[in-house]
Amino acid sequence: MWFGSRILIWCAMLLLAPHLPSNHTEESMILGWSAVDGWDSVHYRAIVTSGYEFVDDGKQHNLAFFPLFPLCIWALMRLGLSFEIAGTLVNNLAFCAALYCIYFWVKEHCGIKAAQWATAVVSWCPMAMFTGVIYTEGLYLFLSTSALWAFDRKDYPWVAFWGSLATATRPTGIALIPALAIAAWQERRPASAYLASLASATGILLFSLYCAIYFHNPLAFIAAQRGWRPSLGFDWQGWLNMLMQIVVGDNWKFGWVQNPNGGLQDPWHPLLFSLVVGCIFWMWRTQKSLHSLNRIYGFYTLVAFLLIIAEEKLINNLLNALMLLGGGFVLWRFRAALTPVAIIYGFCGIGLLLASGGTISLSRLAYGIIPLSVAIGVLLSRYPRQGCLMLGLFAMLLVKLAVGFAQEQWVG
């Protein structure tokens, strides 16, 4: 699963993307290995080469990015590797280790079929594209899953170790701290479980100490988040705009938008959305009477058509809604199949994302909350035929996102 998804991602980025139309010049599309270095990785490069910088002016500063991932890259670069190679190695090897932990953790509690499907979902999910480039996804998945697995095995020194590394990797690691403590209380664990949950905050506390020493503000890393998310709290306007744009497209921008001649600005989007919903409903109602090959051909023809005509913004909005809201629903639906700490951490992570004050990159951040993918894996393990169709859809979206990232398009 790990090797297959790596091959698909890199072939899409290195072989396919340079030969597809884009908004960039032909010279800029001679990508090579630099295709894995874009968007957030630019900030990691700056941290590795020049260190952190921050001024409390509301603008974007690299102090918003936590230190463990760039520290690992820096260590490999001391061995003579380039930034691109070092960053790619850290993310991809950590992701391989994450799949190992996910498989055996889920196998212990849900069985081998659920473990296989959970591994497949994490490997082929469209947001797995970020585990193939210079991002923190692979490392964070490995560390957070290791902490949860250690907690379920009641190995509390390792809970503290993996948890402290996770909280030093990205902000969503903060959700681990209350999740571990609440699960310890719910399961009536000994005092060592509470101490391990508190010790998992060591990573973020050390980062806070660094901020206090160098920027004279122990919460500077939180202030730096304002460059990406100006205010905390539930961004209901952003969510309303995102969900309505899925349904009616650019006809909705905090209200209906009309063209100067009357009527909708883009009448095709709501018609197309209605057609897609109708086709999916028809396929579901007639699935028993249709031949299996006809269903498969029809499904993938519809998906391929949508991917060709869909804008990147629409795909990002759909992934945001499905990963967070859909993943949260599946997590609640299969809460009896998962361990208490997985359920609690999943909903703590969702709550943290909803309170983050924005809708940017929600699908990518939700992908890092491993219980959501595990719950989807448990669901697909009970419906393997539909699961195979979904994995095919995941692979198609994975290719589209990889091509978009290589062409320097915003893909979440």
pLDDT digit of tens for each residue in the chain (412 aa)? Answer: 999 999 999 898 888 877 777 655 444 444 567 778 878 888 999 999 988 988 877 778 888 899 999 999 999 999 989 899 999 999 999 999 999 999 999 999 989 999 999 999 999 999 999 999 999 999 999 999 999 999 999 999 999 999 999 999 999 999 999 999 999 999 999 999 999 999 999 999 999 999 999 988 898 888 888 777 767 777 777 787 777 777 777 666 655 555 555 555 666 677 777 777 776 676 666 656 556 666 666 666 666 666 665 666 777 788 888 888 889 999 999 999 999 999 999 999 999 988 887 777 888 999 999 999 999 999 999 888 778 888 888 888 899 888 888 888 777 6
pLDDT, position 316: 77
C-alpha 95: how far from chain center: 13
* Separation of alpha carbons 12 and 398, rounded Å: 9
The upper half-sphere exposure of residue 393, i.e. CA atoms within 13 Å in the direction of its Cβ, equals 18
- Give 52: exposed, middle or buried? Use CB within 10 Å, 0-12, 13-18, 19+: buried
Q: Which of 123, 40, 133 is nearest to 85 (CA)?
A: 133
Query: 3-state SS string over the chain?
Result: CHHHHHHHHHHHHHHHHHHCCCCCCCHHHCCHHHHHCCCHHHHHHHHHHHCCCCCCCCCCCHHHCCCHHHHHHHHHHCCCCCHHHHHHHHHHHHHHHHHHHHHHHHHHHHCHHHHHHHHHHHHHCHHHHHHCCCCCHHHHHHHHHHHHHHHHCCCHHHHHHHHHHHHCCCHHHHHHHHHHHHHHHHCCCCHHHHHHHHHCCHHHHHHHHHHHHHHCCCCHHHHHHHHCCCCCECCHHHHHHHHHHHHHHHHECCCECECCCCCECCCHHHHHHHHHHHHHHHHHHCCCCCCHHHHHHHHHHHHHHHHHHCCHHHHHHHHHHHHHHHHHHHHHHCHHHCCHHHHHHHHHHHHHHHCECCCCCHHHHHHCCHHHHHHHHHHHHHCHHHHHHHHHHHHHHHHHHHHHHHCCCCCC
* Separation of alpha carbons 150 and 180, rounded Å: 11
Contacts by 253-259, CB closer than 8 A, 24 or more apart: none
Q: Whole-prediction pTM value?
A: 0.88
For helices 40-50 and 68-77, what crossing angle results, to 10°?
Answer: 60
* Separation of alpha carbons 207 and 116, rounded Å: 36
* Separation of alpha carbons 168 and 172, rounded Å: 10
State how far the alpha carbon of 179 is from the alpha carbons of 165, 176, 210, 275, 316, in Å.
16, 5, 25, 42, 28
pLDDT, position 37: 80
* Separation of alpha carbons 285 and 190, rounded Å: 52
Q: In terms of residues, how long is the chain?
A: 412
Q: Report the greatest alpha carbon distance in the chain.
A: 70
pLDDT, position 59: 78
Residue 358 neighbours by CB distance under 10 Å: 17
